[in-house]
Structure 1
């Protein structure tokens, strides 16, 4: 299994490039359709997108083993919340890749009578739950860093050292205090994300990715253009994390 995991890691960058090209075709096809391109050219773009999707599935063959190994490592983390979020995310990714491999067998003709729609919906459900776990992990890490930042530095500007820090009676005073506290939290959030590029990149990537299964499952329809834009953006962010390993969120 170790040898296969190493091989899978080497093909990850190629899969990300194929993914970026696939979603670029999705975005291009939507743009051309809105601008009245010829049906023949649109059909060519859609065929290219389908071939890129099939090629990506080929690169992901066996990625379930990689995800299971990552889950085995994550289960030993000391932080209970991180252990739960990361382990469950990797287990769902393993199931997503397994469904995707079965779907590849159907689309390539190896299993001609497969219900491709059923397996596609099943794979997107696992993908969505994995992304929910990833976003939960990001939110937890942001909360920890914000608490650490708030406890480590004196509060300046918004609530400290001004007459506005004194509570004012009435509804207007409560609303003003709430607004000031919200500004403080937003400034703190911005500082935390600015000082932690791997967390910012992971949050942006997961936030973009989550719209893809939501659209495919019919839970929140956004359209092909938005899905293509989100997929292209998250693919570029993933490639950056591969090219610059220090941008990859750990553990």
Structure 2
């Protein structure tokens, strides 16, 4: 089992490169179609994209085993939220790869009379749920880091000269006039939003793995949303999102420290 996981990890880089090329072809085909290019050229690009998709499915044979092993590791995490998101996410990823393997067998003729549309839709549903769980995990970790950063800033900031229970005189004046409350609340909300945005930027800047994972999952989620017809965005947008997420995935392979752990 361990030897298969190690062998499978070596093919991930090739799969990501082919994935980037596949979505580059998708984007190129959309651009050529909009630009009024020759139909024969557009057909060649579409055929090249289909061949790359089939090659990727071949390289992903057996990836369900790796996903199941990752689920077995995630179930022992101490954080309950991370344990839930990662374990269920890896199990859904295993089901996604299993459906993808069956779809590959149908496309190559190993399984005759396979309803490829049904299995493709089933595969994308598992993929979508996996990405939702991944994004939930990213937002959860981001929230934890923002709370930690806010506490660190609070301990470093000087104490306020006013008691927390006391209200300034102008606040008491405004509180007696209901019509003036919105004019007081809006600047307070604006200051709070600026502080939260600055906190968000600080946390993401100091945590590149989380930033890359959040961007990658945010790009990827538009692919199953479009394929399932939940939120159609068009071939060009799907191609751009797939290409961007593929490049980010390649970066995490070239620089392993950029991969979000666990």
TM bucket, shorter chain: over 0.9
1:85-138 superposed Cα distances (whole Å, 9 cap, x missing partner): 011110000000000000000011111210000000000000000000000000
Q: Name structure 1 gaps, 5 residues minimum.
A: none
CA RMSD of aligned residues (A): 1.8
TM-superposed deviation, 1:146: 0.3
Partner residue, 2:9: 9
* 1:125 partnered with 2:136: no
Q: Supply the distance in 2 between the matched residues of 1:156 and 1:135 (Cα, whole angstroms).
A: 31
Q: Supply the distance in 2 between the matched residues of 1:14 and 1:220 (Cα, whole angstroms).
A: 30
1:35-46 → structure 2 map (5 Å cutoff): 35-46=35-46
Partner residue, 1:33: 33
Q: Supply the distance in 1 between the matched residues of 2:112 and 2:238 (Cα, whole angstroms).
A: 28
TM-superposed deviation, 1:215: 0.2
1:67-146 → structure 2 map (5 Å cutoff): 67-146=67-146
Q: Supply the distance in 1 between the matched residues of 2:136 and 2:186 (Cα, whole angstroms).
A: 29
Q: Supply the distance in 1 between the matched residues of 2:212 and 2:106 (Cα, whole angstroms).
A: 34
Instruction: After the TM superposition, list the runs of 4 or more consecutive aligned residues in structure 1 that deviate by more than 4 angstroms.
Output: 165-168
Q: Indicate the SS of the match to 1:153.
A: helix
Bigger-Rg structure (1/2) = 2
Q: Match for 2:241 among 223, 230, 251?
A: 230
TM-superposed deviation, 1:74: 0.3
Q: Name structure 2 gaps, 5 residues minimum.
A: 162-166, 175-180
TM-superposed deviation, 1:156: 9.6
Q: Match for 1:186 among 177, 197, 214?
A: 197
Partner residue, 2:219: 208
Question: When the two structures are superposed, what TM-score results if normalisation uses the length of structure 1?
Answer: 0.95
The alignment of Structure 1 onto Structure 2 pairs a total of residues equal to 246
